[in-house]
Amino acid sequence: MRPAGEVRQALFTAACTFHDEGRTATLRELAHQSQVGLGDARRCVDNMKRAGALEIVGTRRVDYRNRPVSEYAPAAQVADQIQQGWVDLGQCMSAWAR
């Protein structure tokens, strides 16, 4: 599997930032925070949702659209995998140094 691209990394970092603040983000907020174009963000968020990196946690009414928009948050399993990966790396590095 190839590594995540810059757009995906920026959007995931933005979603994690909102999540750490105790908030969820709409697609526009993610695009604005990560400084990614709206079209690219829309395509990438759809792919991330399909891959399980982001999940829809609710909807919100906004003034720029007639329908409620989805609110996204990083999936819990992805956040656990990232933390677990760093723990594994630390264990490997400590064993290698011996």
Write the pLDDT tens digit of every residue in 58-69.
999 999 999 999
Residue 13 lies in a domain: yes
Query: What would the pLDDT profile of 32-51 be if each residue is shown by its tens digit?
Result: 999 999 999 999 999 999 99
Residue that wins the pLDDT comparison between 88 and 83: 88
Structural domain harbouring 68:
6-97
Residue 1 lies in a domain: no
pTM above 0.85, yes or no: no
Please state the φ and ψ torsions of residue 52, each to the nearest 5 degrees: 95, 10
Tell me the three-class secondary structure of the chain, residue by residue: CCCCCHHHHHHHHHHHHHHHCCCCECHHHHHHHHCCCHHHHHHHHHHHHHHCCEEEEEEECCCCCCCCEEEEEECHHHHHHHHHHHHHHHHHHHHHHC
pLDDT classification of 4: cutoffs 50, 70, 90? confident
Residue 24 lies in a domain: yes
Residue 11 lies in a domain: yes
Q: What is the CATH number of the domain that holds 35?
A: 1.10.10.10
**Number of separate domains in the chain:** 1
